[in-house]
Amino acid sequence: TSRQATPERIAKVVRSQWVIENRLHFVRDTAFHEDASKVRTGHGPENMATLRSFAINQLRAAGHTNIAAGLREMSLRPFERPLTLLGLN
């Protein structure tokens, strides 16, 4: 209702959307260049977005606060570190 839509409540709702944008979409675009992806047909875009989100969540769960730095660290030993991160090594 209009009584519930105080300026503070509206600001809180808007900020909550930006938290999602900054924590996920911005990271996916800057770290993985998602907007430049050439994957555009079928379920490819959704599947790639899921894989990117999975990678971000795994890095965050391992304590990485900078996803780009975490990806660089994983790429130093690409056949060892990602598997260790997932508990498969």
Query: Which of 16, 14, 34 minimizes the C-alpha distance to 26?
Result: 34
> What is the per-residue DSSP string for 12-36?
HHHHHHHHHIIIIIHHHHHHH-GGG
Compute how many other C-beta atoms are within 10 angstroms of the C-beta atom of residue 53: 15
pLDDT of residue 71: 96
Q: For 56-85, what is each residue's pLDDT tens digit? A: 999 999 999 999 999 999 999 999 999 999
Q: What percentage of the chain reaches a pLDDT higher than 90?
A: 65
